[in-house]
């Protein structure tokens, strides 16, 4: 029997018991105390643009239909028939006005309402035996959206999504709002890796320390110039609300501070997109890029939604093309994760930019991406090592950036325009922040 309180206490000091990456009891606690009550991403509204469109997504073992009903309202419904518990919708996506259970053909409208069942009069005596009025697929206990991102929580008393996101919404906009049209998602690509779900989530929350080493080959072949150690150590690591992430330090733009257009051109955005990006962002968001000189790159919104924004060189001519990816670390077990990876792009971007950006995404991330292959090799090894008996004797040191007294080695960045707190250089601030939220969840009662 594990001692959750002792594990959480160690984690709060920046010392991670190695076995948490492969322990079935830890995984059971995460299922009951974390995923059953946290805000979790399911889909984006661009995936269901028209009435009748739907996708089916999971939160661990719970399957949900995410549908746009005939009135255009987005609904999230538990994918389980009211009759005998069969999975109602077995396709992953499509368009339907009704969903019919394959077991006994109970049929539901795409807003969840029960529309009919065979032999109602003969089998039930009609409405007297089973009143259809008011019968509906079980809705998600809590649901919210931000910039088209659809989240649910299994907790009916969850705080409003906007309150939960808090200051992290500032950074979320860099990935999901580059103009009035919003972003459109393509995908997801899906694959499974023999690695614990936490490793990817914490990696994207702030591990700039690994990129000069794990991803050295990406620089060597000329795909990407930024992961060099001299570049990554200049970036900022920030924590804000339920999220944390990394940035790159941009070189001085042509006109010095305040040259937002110059900074955006440096990372490959065409002039046709820049006015809409500038208009979509607040003064403070523009200042983070133009004045502070930091461009958000990887980030994680707790618990398991990550983002990446990179700008590789996609051809021999050195053409730079930025891309954005959303990725979800969907736990399958304590030793296996399903990765869902979406390509995101401004819906109003020029078509030639969309093509270049998608090429950049496929070269770097997704199931065939070079960054992806580098990372997964590490994560599988960590999970394998964590499953042995010796791992229960070891606590991993996640205190980079702290003195022995627990104080930051460097003061927070005073010139960082974004909310929250940010540090420049290498440090495990984001990972500790993520694990602090993890510890908060494991310390509460299960539901």
In the numeric block, the tokens 């948490």 are attached to: 20
Give the pLDDT of residue 256.
47
pLDDT tens, residue by residue, 154-208: 999 999 999 999 999 999 999 999 999 999 999 999 999 999 999 999 999 999 9
> Cis peptide before 188, with omega less than 30 degrees from 0?
yes
- Please, are residues 395 and 10 in contact by the beta-carbon 8 Å criterion? yes
**Per CATH, which fold does 42-146 belong to?**
Rieske Iron-sulfur Protein (2.102.10)
Specify the 3-state DSSP secondary structure of 40: strand
Give the pLDDT of residue 445.
82
**List of residues 6+ apart from 290 with CB closer than 8 A:** 253, 257, 258, 259, 260, 263
| 249 beta partners | 294
Length of the chain: 447
Rounded to whole angstroms, the Cα distance separating 446 from 36 reads: 8
Is pLDDT at 447 greater than 80 in this prediction?
no
Q: Given pLDDT bands bounded at 50, 70 and 90, which one contains residue 220? A: confident
Rounded to whole angstroms, the Cα distance separating 343 from 340 reads: 10
Radius of gyration of the chain (CA): 23
**Per CATH, which fold does 167-442 belong to?**
Naphthalene 1,2-dioxygenase Alpha Subunit; Chain A, domain 1 (3.90.380)
Query: How is the chain split into domains, by residue range?
Result: 42-146, 167-442
């Amino acid at each position: 029997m594990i001692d959750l309180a002792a594990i959480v206490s160690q984690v709060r000091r920046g010392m991670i018991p190695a076995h948490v990456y492969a322990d079935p009891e830890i995984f059971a606690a995460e299922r009951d105390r974390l995923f059953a009550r946290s805000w979790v991403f399911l889909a984006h509204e661009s995936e269901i643009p028209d009435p009748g469109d739907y996708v089916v997504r999971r939160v661990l073992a719970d399957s949900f239909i995410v549908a746009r009903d005939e009135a255009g309202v987005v609904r999230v419904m538990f994918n389980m028939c009211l009759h005998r518990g069969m999975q109602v919708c077995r396709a992953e996506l499509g368009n339907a006005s009704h969903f019919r259970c394959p077991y006994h053909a109970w049929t539901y409208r795409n807003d969840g309402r029960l529309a009919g069942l065979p032999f109602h009069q003969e089998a039930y005596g009609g409405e007297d035996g089973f009143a259809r009025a008011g019968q509906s697929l079980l809705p998600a206990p809590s649901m919210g959206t931000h910039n088209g991102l659809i989240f649910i929580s299994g907790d009916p008393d969850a705080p409003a999504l906007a309150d939960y996101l808090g200051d992290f919404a500032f950074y979320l906009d860099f990935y999901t709002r580059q103009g009035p049209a919003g972003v459109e998602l393509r995908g997801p690509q899906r694959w499974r890796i023999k690695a614990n779900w936490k490793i990817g989530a914490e990696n994207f929350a702030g591990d700039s320390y690994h990129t000069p080493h794990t991803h050295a080959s990406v620089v060597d072949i000329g795909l990407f110039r930024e992961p060099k150690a001299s570049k990554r150590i200049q970036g900022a690591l920030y924590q804000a609300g339920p999220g944390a992430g990394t940035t790159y330090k941009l070189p001085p733009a042509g006109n010095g501070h305040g040259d937002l257009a110059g900074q955006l051109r440096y990372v490959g955005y065409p002039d046709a997109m820049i006015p809409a990006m500038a208009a979509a962002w607040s003064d403070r968001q523009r200042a983070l890029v133009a004045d502070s000189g930091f461009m958000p790159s990887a980030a994680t919104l707790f618990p398991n939604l990550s983002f990446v924004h990179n700008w590789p060189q996609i051809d021999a001519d050195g053409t730079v093309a930025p891309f954005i990816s959303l990725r979800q670390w969907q736990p399958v077990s304590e030793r296996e994760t399903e990765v869902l990876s979406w390509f995101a792009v401004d819906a109003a971007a020029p078509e030639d930019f969309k093509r270049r950006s998608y090429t950049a995404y496929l070269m770097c991330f997704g199931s065939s991406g070079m960054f992806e292959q580098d990372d997964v090799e590490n994560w599988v090894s960590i999970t394998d090592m964590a499953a042995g008996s010796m791992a229960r004797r070891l606590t991993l040191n996640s205190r980079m950036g702290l003195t022995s007294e627990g104080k930051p080695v460097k003061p927070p960045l005073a010139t960082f325009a974004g909310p929250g707190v940010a540090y420049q250089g290498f440090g495990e601030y984001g990972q500790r922040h993520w694990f602090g939220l993890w510890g908060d969840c494991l310390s509460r009662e299960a539901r």
